[in-house]
Structure 1
Amino acid sequence: MVDPSEFPILFGKKWPITGLATELAALSRSELCREYEELRRCAPNRGFRKKPYLVKDREWTSKDESNRFEERLAMALCHMEGWRCSRMGNFRVLDRQVPLQAKKVDVGIGEVDLLGVTDAGRLVVIELKVKPEGEGRAREGNPAAALVQGLRYAAIISANHEVIANDARHLFEADVSEDPPMVVVLAPQAWWRDWLEPPGSTRKAMGDWEQEFDRLARDVEARLDLVVECLALEDVEPSELAGATPRLDSELKVYGVHLVAVPAIGSALASLRSHP
């Protein structure tokens, strides 16, 4: 059983907009990595209880229909091919909303928005974010929170690597390597622009968070042998995903996001297409 209170960074850390850069700079890398390794050690094990992680063609249930735009987008993205990232090359998405809970007492563990695998066999843990409905930005859903959440999921995925690799091989004919997972923060361009181009007062309150985010990501990579990458999707309107089964009929471009570059959202890396 995982006690979230024993992981104050991976489960409990708040990331306020005011002072975001300062919070990122002050975060103890040693403590973050210690929590990551400890979570790997005591992570829930669905395989032990004969529960699968991956499901081929996971059904879109009536429960899903009342869910947010984020989940409808995840469903559509799960049925698209042509994925590419700037550092690890091509990858494919295997499944969405991948459960991590093994027992009912595993409260607050969460589920992986999208799980993929690169052509070289590295698992890809994708944390998907969308701009909240209405005005403003989601205070608890900023890039720092998304990265840490992705790390939390990566620790559990890594701990259950063998079972997940078997699922991937049998269900998707995908070979999974022994490499540590890759963590991707994925969001439509509108979400990224909210954080990259805030109004003057908000920018001043946040500070130079992009620089500190990049430093944290690079430190995590060096210490945990992970890969961290940020990607932007061409904006999608909720109306495009209306209907019984969310699908995107048109091509959807994917862009690399390099927070310390100008502009931060770079050129298109790929054009996604829905597969049959």
Structure 2
Amino acid sequence: MKKGKSMLSKMNLINEVGAHVNTIDQLYKSSILNRRGKTTNGELFTEVIAEELLRLDIKNRLKEINEVVRESGYRVTTHDGVVTTGHKEEDSNRKEERVAIQLFNLSQSGKIFNGIGRIMDYQVPLKNSSADKGLGKIDLISLVDDCMVLIEFKINENRETLLRCVLEIATYYQVLSKSKCFVWIL
């Protein structure tokens, strides 16, 4: 372990996970999910955290998250494949948005991507109003045969773990108003 990093026992890490799982709709934002390194007994933080989340029945706990119904639907009329200006170029979320738009544009010109199909939209908002705190945007929505696929991706510069990414899209899936989204996309 690098000098200056504190050592964390497996038990302390498990206790931290238990404290964060009580706010299931915000769990994916917890800094604990981006911890890198190993516990005092040499286990990877992400492995210990994932194991504990499975033990705590994360799959069923995610179902406790309330759906947010977008009254205006999910289609964003300004999603025309053009990058808007006014944001810092170095912002990693902005870079991810640019990649999403590029993939969308390729798909609109006929490209079907292996495994993720035809991209239907990008940066799809989940909030219905400003009162819906903590909700982001789904990076991409695509169609594979008759299945809608929600895609959360990270560019190389992003330091978030795969575990965080998976929990983010699982949370977004729970928040998504499926009936409104399925009608729009199909």
TM-score normalized by the length of structure 2? 0.69
Given the superposition, is the C-alpha separation of residues 152 and 165 from structure 1 closer, same or farther in structure 2, using an over 3 Å criterion? same
**Distance in 2 of aligned mates of 1:64 and 1:167:** 29
1:166 aligned residue: 183
Identity of aligned residues (%): 20
In the aligned structure 2, how far is the partner of 1:57 from the partner of 1:84?
27
Describe the shift of the 1:147–1:72 C-alpha distance in structure 2 as closer, same or farther (beyond 3 A).
same
Give the corresponding residue for 1:262. Answer: none
Provide the secondary structure at the position in 2 that maps to 1:151: helix
Deviates more, 1:63-72 or 1:11-20: 63-72
> Are 2:175 and 1:156 equivalent residues in the alignment?
yes
- Residues 57 and 94 from structure 1, CA distance in 2 versus in 1: closer, same or farther, beyond 3 angstroms? farther
* Equivalent residues, number: 148
- State whether residues 112 and 153 of structure 1, in contact with CA within 8 Å, keep that contact through their aligned partners in structure 2: yes
What amino acid maps onto 1:163 in structure 2? Answer: K
Query: Is the alpha carbon distance of 1:112 and 1:64 closer, same or farther for their aligned partners in structure 2, counting shifts above 3 Å?
Result: farther
What residue in structure 2 maps to residue 45 of structure 1? 69
**2:54 aligned with 1:54:** no
**Following the alignment from structure 1 to structure 2, what is the Cα–Cα distance between the partners of residues 93 and 84?**
11
Correspondence list, 1:262-273, <5 A = none
CA distance in 1, matches of 2:55, 2:120: 31
- 2:154 maps to which of 108, 113, 129: 129
Is contact 1:92–1:117 with CA below 8 Å preserved after alignment?
yes
Q: Shift of residue 70 of structure 1?
A: 1.2
Distance 1:150 1:53 in 2: 16
Question: Secondary structure at 1:96's aligned position in 2?
Answer: strand
Deviations 1:165-217 (A, max 9, x none): 2212xxxxxx3xxxxxxxxxxxxxxxxxxxxxxxxxxxxxxxxxxxxxxxxxx
Q: Output the CA distance in 2 between the equivalents of 1:65 and 1:163.
A: 33
Describe the SS at the equivalent of 1:43: coil
Letter in 2 for 1:104: S
Q: Secondary structure at the match of 1:167?
A: helix
Q: Which residue of 1 aligns with 2:96?
A: 70
User: TM-score if structure 1 supplies the norm length?
Assistant: 0.48
Counterpart CA distance in 2 for 1:72 and 1:107 is 24
Q: Shift of the alpha carbon at 1:29?
A: 4.9
Which stretches in structure 2 are left out of the alignment for 5+ residues?
1-20, 38-44
The secondary structure found in structure 2 opposite 1:61 is coil
Contact 2:29 2:164 (8 Å CA) reproduced = no
Counterpart selection for 1:14 from 25, 32, 40: 32
1:65–1:73 Cα change, 3 Å: farther
Give the structure with the higher percent strand. Answer: 1
Contact persistence 2:62–2:174 (CA under 8 A): yes
Answer yes or no: is 1:82 the counterpart of 2:101.
Answer: no
Cα distance change of structure 1 residues 69 and 13 upon mapping to structure 2, 3 Å threshold = closer
Give the secondary-structure state (helix, strand or coil) at the position aligned to 1:70: helix
Q: Contact conserved, 1:14 with 1:145, CA < 8 A, in 2?
A: no
**Residue 9 of structure 1 aligns to a residue in which SS?**
helix
Q: Give the ranges of 4+ consecutive aligned residues of structure 1 lying more than 6 Å apart after TM superposition.
A: none
For 2:171, give the aligned amino acid: R
User: 1:66-94, CA deviations, whole angstroms, 9 ceiling, x for partnerless residues?
Assistant: 45321111110111222121xxxx62110
User: 1:28/1:74 Cα in 2 relative to 1: closer, same or farther (>3 Å)?
Assistant: same
Contact conserved, 2:75 with 2:184, CA < 8 A, in 1? yes
Distance 1:29 1:149, change over 3 A: farther
Quote the RMSD (CA, aligned, Å). Answer: 2.5
Match of 1:105 in 2: 131
What CA distance in whole angstroms lies between the structure 2 residues aligned with 1:63 and 1:167? 29
